[in-house]
Structure 1
C-alpha cells in the first residue's frame, strides 16, 4: 500500500489500543472512519485538501503507528503534515491527559472499579472539531443512537467533502461555512426535524462568523462559564453543552447528569429495578469529583 509518511506516537499508561478500537467499532454505520484489520482509516484535512490517515498499534503494542496514505492535491511540508496528524491523533485519543489519578480514584469506587477493570486502557475518544461535536450533540437529541448515526451519514454525504484512496471513499464532516449558507429547506430531505435543521444552521453561522470558537470556550475561565455560553445558543441545553465540553473541550469535570445512558448504566450495575433518582446520582458521583467526564464515558461502555 502506498504511503507518503509513517511515524509512531508514544502512549502513556494506562492505554490499550485494542480497547479504544473496540469503542470505535461499536457502530457499523459510522461514516467518518473505517476499520479494517484492526486499523482505523479516516480522512485528515490538510491545507485545503485531505489525505487518508491509517492508525493502528505498533508491533509490540507500545505505541500508535500512523501512516498517511496517498498524496494531497497540493504540495505540503512533510514535517508540518506529520505534526498536524500527530496533534489530531493525540487529541482524538486524549493522550495528553494523565489518567493515573482517575484510576487511583476509581479503584475505590464500587461502580468505577468495575469499569476500569472491564475497559482498562480506554481513553475518552474525542471529537476535536467544535462544529462536528455540537452537530453530533444536536443530531442525537431524543432519538435512538442507531438513527442518529443514520442522520449523521446523510448530513456528511450530502454536504461533507471526501477523498478517494484505493477504491475507498473517506468523508470529512461538513464545514460550518458550508452549512451556514443553507436554509432549513435544504436540510429537510435528510429527514431531520425542522428544529434540528434550524439549530444546526444557527450554530454553523455562529462558528462561521467567528462568534463562537473552540478557543473562546477554552478561555472561558471555568466549566460553568463555558456551559453558560453554550446553553445561550438555540438548541443547546445542559446535556448537549456538557457532551461538547466532554468530547471536544476535554473538561474532565463535565457531567451530563441527565443522560439516559448514564442512568441505565448505573441501574444495570446496581441491579436496580428502576432508574436512579438525581439525588442518588449526585451521591454516587460525589466520589468522582474532577473526573465526572471520564466516569460517565466508562459507565456508558457497559451499554454501548
Structure 2
C-alpha cells in the first residue's frame, strides 16, 4: 500500500480525485482488485506491464506521450479505491493530462460499468451462477488501444494462448518503444504509423504466418490513414454495423471482430460465439461429452441479452 496521498487539497471529479502525484479512483462495490490481478497474471510472458507485490507497473499510452505508473488498491471500511501513482519524472503537469490517465485506467478496469444487472441475471443462470460467485468483482479487463486490440485478435487466430503471448512479445520488442524508469524497462505497443510503412519481410523475424503479417500491415495502414478509428466504430450505430465494418477488412472475421468490440469498444452484446475457449468452458460446466454446437450455445445464452460479453469473459475465466 502507498503511504498516503500526496496532496492535501485534492480536486474532485466524477469517480476519482486528483492528488497530483497520485490519482484516487473510486471503485464500485462490485469490484475486486484481487480477481482482476489474477486475470492479469494469467501469462508470465506479458510484456506491457509487471505485477509485483499486488501492484501493477506499466506505461500508459496516452495522447501526450506516456506516463509510467504503479497501480494498487487501498481499502477502507466503507470505501475501496484504486490508486494510480506516477513514477520517476513522469508526472503530467497539466490537470487535463492527469484526467486522461485516470480515464485510461478506469477504462482498462471497466470501472464505469454497473455489474448489478449482470449479477442478477447470472445468479439464476446454470452456466454462470458458479462463475460469478467464484470470481465476484472480476471486470472485463480491456484493451483500450484499438490497434493493440486488433493486433492481439489477429495474432491469436488459430494458435494457443501461450504462443500468442510469445508473438506479442516479439512484435512489441521489435517495433514498440522501450522506456527506462527507476531501473525497469517499460514497453509501449507499436503505433499504426510505426508499422504501416513496413513490409512482410520486415515482420519475418516474428516467425508468424505471411497472412498474419499481411493482416497486421493492412490494419496498420487503414488506421494510419484514418480510415479505421475507434470513433468511427463507436459511431457505427449498432453492434452489427460495427461488426460489418470490421469483417470487411481482410483477415478479420466474426470472432476477431466481436473480440475487439468486446475488449476495446466495450459493446456489451459483443459475442465471439465461435470461440474455442467459450466452447470448452460450456462443455466443462455442463458436463457435456462433446463441445456444444452453435445452436446449443444460442439456446443456452438466450437470457444473456446485452450481457453476452461479460458472460463470455466469466466463462473464459473458468479455464485458467
**Aligned partners of 1:16, 1:253: CA distance in 2, in Å?**
23
1:141-156 correspondence to structure 2 within 5 Å: 141-156=157-172
Deviation of residue 81 (structure 1)? Answer: 2.8
Equivalent residues in 2 for 1:146-295, closer than 5 Å: 146-295=162-311
Superposed displacement of residue 77, structure 1: 2.6
Do the aligned residues in 1 keep the contact of 2:64 with 2:97 (CA within 8 Å)? no
Q: Deviations over 1:183-205 (max 9, x none)?
A: 01000111010000000000000
Asked if 2 retains the 8 angstrom alpha-carbon contact of 1:267 and 1:275, the reply is yes
Q: CA RMSD in A?
A: 1.5
Distance in 1 (CA, whole Å) between partners of 2:303 and 2:148 is 31
The list of structure 1 runs, each at least 4 consecutive aligned residues, that deviate by more than 6 angstroms after superposition, is none
1:13 Cα deviation from its structure 2 partner: 2.2
- Structure 1 gaps of 5+ residues are none
Are 1:112 and 2:128 an aligned pair?
yes
Matched residues in 2 for 1:49 and 1:278: separation? Answer: 44
Are residues 1:57 and 2:73 paired? Answer: yes
Q: Which whole-Å CA distance do the structure 2 matches of 1:11 and 1:147 have between them?
A: 34
Q: Quote the residue 1:135 is aligned against.
A: 151
Q: CA deviation at 1:45?
A: 3.0
Cα distance in 2, alignment partners of residues 48 and 5 from structure 1: 17
1:100-139 per-residue CA deviation (whole Å, 9 max, x = no partner) reads: 1111111110111111001000010000000000000000
Matched with 2:86 is 68
Q: Which SS does the other structure have where 2:187 is aligned?
A: strand
| In 2, Cα distance between equivalents of 1:225 and 1:49 | 32
Higher relative contact order structure (alpha carbons within 8 Å, sequence separation ≥ 6): 1
Match of 1:6 in 2: 22
Cα deviation for residue 5 of structure 1 reads 1.1
Distance in 2 between residues matched to 1:256 and 1:240, nearest whole Å:
8
Aligned to 1:32: 48
Deviation at 1:288, TM superposition (A): 0.7
User: Are the aligned partners of 2:176 and 2:190 in contact in 1 as well (CA < 8 Å)?
Assistant: yes
Point out where structure 2 has 5 or more consecutive residues left out of the alignment: 7-19
Matched, 1:17 2:33: yes
Alpha-carbon distance in 2 for matches of 1:187, 1:119:
39
SS at match of 1:35: strand
CA distance in 2, matches of 1:233, 1:20: 32
Structure 2 CA distance for partners of 1:14 and 1:47, relative to 1, 3 Å: closer
* Contact 2:62 2:101 (8 Å CA) reproduced: no
Contact 2:92 2:98 in 1 (8 A): no
Q: Distance in 2 between matches of 1:65 and 1:240?
A: 33
Q: Secondary structure at the match of 2:301?
A: helix
After superposition, where does 1:88-107 map in structure 2 within 5 Å? 88-107=104-123
How many residues align? The count is 301
Q: TM-score, normalised by structure 2?
A: 0.91
Contact 2:55 2:71 in 1 (8 A): yes
Go from structure 1 to structure 2 and tell me whether the alpha carbon gap of 1:286 and 1:78 turns closer, same or farther (over 3 Å shift).
same
